[in-house]
């Protein structure tokens, strides 16, 4: 685990402990915020504290959400490996209570009450007490048998409560359901919102929003879809169901909203929660009130109930404008400083014109050179690099030097034959555990494109991993560092190198960092792409295609890239043929 991850856990634990001890809730909240800022940071705190502690302290204090107190705590933890306040708090709160706090329906007040009055300090103790003596729990203030029942249900559900669905499974399902709902007569508009609309790499549940005439029909359709396994709620303005389809089990909500307030509702249900909080704070400062019904003049409670006409409500754009803010695309709504300014134009799928990372049947792909080229050309690409695996990838059919050179000949022959696209001879060469590459330099020099990627020894410690990847970046024949961490979402964490050092080296040596669009990977991840851009790096948005349908993975990479603020100019695969080819040749 990186130091940033360790620290964000420390602050999260302090926040939970403060809640359980009944401290000032705003103090607990600010610890949570520090945890989030640390999670989103692209730089390794350990590295920049080591470089110069006083500069580090000043730069930490400049971050919104981190003040003098928290900055000092971060330094204390990095320099000594522990934090006195954290240890004091952990000594006061039994460890098992943190798991109890995770049970849906149980919050800090109820957990503290059961701890104080009944001595319950773990999930096991809670389960046992509910089995043997539910009346004792029901008799506590503001409890009752219904509350006991809901805790029982929450306990049964809590093992799965935090499971998230990968973006690549959630998006196709959501698109299909959106189209089904949109086809219901009377429905004028349907969108998915929530973390899916923001393009997060994994999704908690699906949120749909509908407006139009007969919304009862939309609700009826939604709750009787063939994928529905359970209807959780079916009201006038909201329906909730559980869905199972294509290996995905997920909760989905449909909200029915009036067309006049569609933008306010879309803004509200898209989130993130933290972004919405910032917007409402700005509204209050300007003497207005923002909720899911609109932006209202004045700060009265529930202005929508008194028939007040909102200042803005129909579209998201007019709400941002009325707040005096730039329109923020959904992917950037994470309270990571987006209200201070957004990129002029985020990258779109249509901007991508080249694929620099793709495999054929020569290694582990499913397409011939000609088929791969046809698939790339069909998507309007001007350039395709054929980059099969190197010898260390035995399972993937990595090519020996002899086979590689033969393969490159065939690629060049295909390039001469096929019109409308340039086919380049390349390789995805392994970055070996010690940072050497899997082909000799004289072999690499004969290729048009070299993508260097780590595949093995992904459990290396951060220091070794940093040295390994730096060596690959400094190699003069490398164009792209492929899926730099090697992580697989939900399966393995991959390498945790010092990203700041990688970004600085990649910028200096003119190596593009890959954003691998395959939804199992999304590597680099969003915050790392952002860090890379801040350091002046180029990004190669690639699909790592092994079969035709893999080209469609681009959409996941684009969403991730947009979350990082990527503009077309910084993306080598969005460049014109002339510019891209010139850059590739500059390394030969």
Binding site for DNA (CB under 7 A): 24, 26-27, 29-31, 33-34, 63-71, 85, 103-111, 138, 141-150, 233, 235, 237-238, 273, 276-277, 280-281, 283-285, 287, 289-293, 299, 301-304
Q: Tokens 């209202």 — which residue?
A: 296
Specify the residue, 162 or 585, whose C-beta has the smaller distance to DNA. Answer: 162
The Cα 314–Cα 322 span in angstroms is 12
Least separation in angstroms between CB 283 and DNA: 6
Check: CB of residue 84 under 8 Å from CB of residue 76: yes
Specify the residue, 147 or 366, whose C-beta has the smaller distance to DNA. Answer: 147
Specify the residue, 267 or 506, whose C-beta has the smaller distance to DNA. Answer: 267
Q: 211-215 — which CB contacts under 8 Å span 24+ positions?
A: 211/187, 211/256, 211/257, 211/258, 211/259, 211/262, 212/186, 212/187, 212/188, 212/259, 213/186, 213/187, 213/188, 214/185, 214/186, 214/187, 215/186, 215/187, 215/256
Specify the residue, 271 or 398, whose C-beta has the smaller distance to DNA. Answer: 271
Report the phi/psi class of residue 224: left, alpha or beta, with left for phi > 0 and alpha for psi in -120 to 50: alpha
Specify the residue, 18 or 444, whose C-beta has the smaller distance to DNA. Answer: 18
Least separation in angstroms between CB 299 and DNA: 6
Check: CB of residue 181 under 8 Å from CB of residue 218: yes
Name the β-bridge partners of 206.
252
Check: CB of residue 191 under 8 Å from CB of residue 177: no
Least separation in angstroms between CB 401 and DNA: 55
Q: How many CB atoms lie within 10 A of CB 224?
A: 10
Least separation in angstroms between CB 289 and DNA: 4
Upstream peptide bond of 195 is cis (omega within 30 degrees of 0): no
For 378-399, b where at least 16 C-beta lie within 10 A, e where not — what string?
ebebbbbbbbbbbbbbeebbbb
Specify the residue, 34 or 171, whose C-beta has the smaller distance to DNA. Answer: 34
Check: CB of residue 317 under 8 Å from CB of residue 263: yes
Q: Which two tokens stand for residue 586?
A: 């500059």
Specify the residue, 1 or 233, whose C-beta has the smaller distance to DNA. Answer: 233
For Cα atoms 123, 125, 128, give the angle at the middle one, nearest 5 degrees: 105
Least separation in angstroms between CB 31 and DNA: 6
- Determine the distance from the C-alpha atom of residue 41 to the mean position of all C-alpha atoms in its chain, rounded to a whole number: 13
Least separation in angstroms between CB 399 and DNA: 49
Specify the residue, 107 or 380, whose C-beta has the smaller distance to DNA. Answer: 107
Least separation in angstroms between CB 105 and DNA: 5
Specify the residue, 34 or 184, whose C-beta has the smaller distance to DNA. Answer: 34
Least separation in angstroms between CB 63 and DNA: 7
Least separation in angstroms between CB 64 and DNA: 4
For 149-169, b where at least 16 C-beta lie within 10 A, e where not — what string?
eebbeebeebeeeeebbbbbb
CA atoms within 13 A on the CB side of 392: 17
């Amino acid at each position: 685990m990186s130091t940033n991850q360790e620290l964000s856990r420390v602050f999260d634990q302090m926040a939970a402990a403060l809640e359980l001890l009944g401290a000032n809730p705003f103090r607990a909240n600010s610890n949570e915020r520090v945890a989030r800022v640390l999670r989103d940071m692209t730089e390794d705190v350990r590295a920049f504290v080591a470089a110069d502690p006083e500069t580090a302290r000043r730069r930490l204090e400049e971050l919104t959400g981190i003040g003098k107190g928290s900055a000092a705590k971060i330094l204390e933890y990095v320099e000594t490996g522990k934090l006195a306040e954290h240890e004091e708090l952990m000594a006061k709160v039994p460890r098992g209570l943190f798991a109890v706090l995770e049970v849906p329906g149980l919050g800090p007040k109820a957990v503290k009450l059961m701890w104080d009055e009944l001595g319950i300090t773990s999930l096991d103790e809670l389960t046992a007490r509910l089995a043997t003596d539910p009346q004792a729990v029901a008799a506590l203030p503001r409890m009752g048998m219904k509350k006991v029942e809901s805790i029982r249900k929450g306990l049964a559900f809590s093992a799965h409560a935090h499971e998230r669905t990968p973006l690549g499974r959630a998006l196709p399902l959501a698109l299909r359901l959106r189209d089904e709902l949109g086809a219901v007569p009377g429905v004028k508009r349907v969108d998915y919102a929530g973390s899916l609309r923001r393009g997060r790499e994994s999704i908690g549940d699906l949120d749909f929003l509908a407006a139009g005439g007969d919304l009862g029909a939309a609700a009826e359709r939604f709750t009787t879809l063939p994928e529905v396994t359970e209807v959780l709620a079916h009201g006038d303005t909201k329906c909730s169901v559980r869905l199972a389809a294509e290996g995905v089990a997920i909760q989905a909500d449909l909200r029915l909203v009036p067309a006049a307030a569609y933008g306010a509702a879309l803004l509200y249900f898209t989130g993130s929660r933290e972004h919405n909080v910032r917007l409402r704070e700005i509204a209050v400062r300007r003497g207005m009130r923002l909720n899911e019904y609109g932006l209202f003049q004045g700060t009265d409670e529930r202005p929508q109930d008194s028939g007040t006409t909102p200042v803005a409500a129909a579209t998201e754009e007019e709400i941002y404008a009325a707040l005096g803010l730039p329109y923020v695309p959904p992917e950037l709504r994470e309270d990571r400083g987006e209200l201070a300014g957004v990129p002029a134009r985020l990258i779109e799928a249509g901007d991508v014109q080249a694929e620099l990372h793709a495999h054929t049947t020569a290694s582990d792909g499913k397409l011939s050179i000609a088929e791969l080229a046809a698939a790339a050309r069909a998507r309007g690409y001007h350039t395709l690099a054929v980059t099969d695996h190197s010898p260390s990838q035995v399972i993937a059919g990595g090519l020996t030097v002899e086979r590689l050179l033969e393969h490159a000949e065939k690629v060049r022959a295909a390039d001469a034959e096929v019109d409308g696209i340039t086919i380049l001879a390349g390789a995805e060469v392994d970055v070996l555990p010690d940072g050497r590459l899997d082909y000799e330099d004289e072999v690499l020099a004969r290729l048009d494109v070299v993508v260097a990627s780590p595949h093995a020894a992904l459990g290396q410690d951060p220091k070794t991993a940093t040295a390994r990847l730096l060596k690959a970046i400094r190699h003069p024949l490398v164009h792209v560092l492929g899926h730099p961490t090697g992580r697989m979402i939900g399966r393995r964490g991959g390498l945790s190198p010092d990203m700041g050092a990688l970004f600085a080296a990649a910028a200096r040596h003119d190596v593009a960092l890959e954003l691998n669009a395959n939804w199992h990977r999304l590597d680099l991840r969003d915050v790392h792409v952002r860090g890379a851009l801040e350091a002046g790096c180029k990004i190669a948005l690639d699909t790592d295609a092994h079969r035709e349908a893999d080209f469609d993975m681009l959409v996941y990479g684009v969403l991730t890239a947009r979350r990082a603020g990527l503009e077309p100019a910084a993306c080598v695969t969005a460049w014109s043929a002339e510019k891209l080819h010139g850059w590739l040749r500059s390394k030969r």
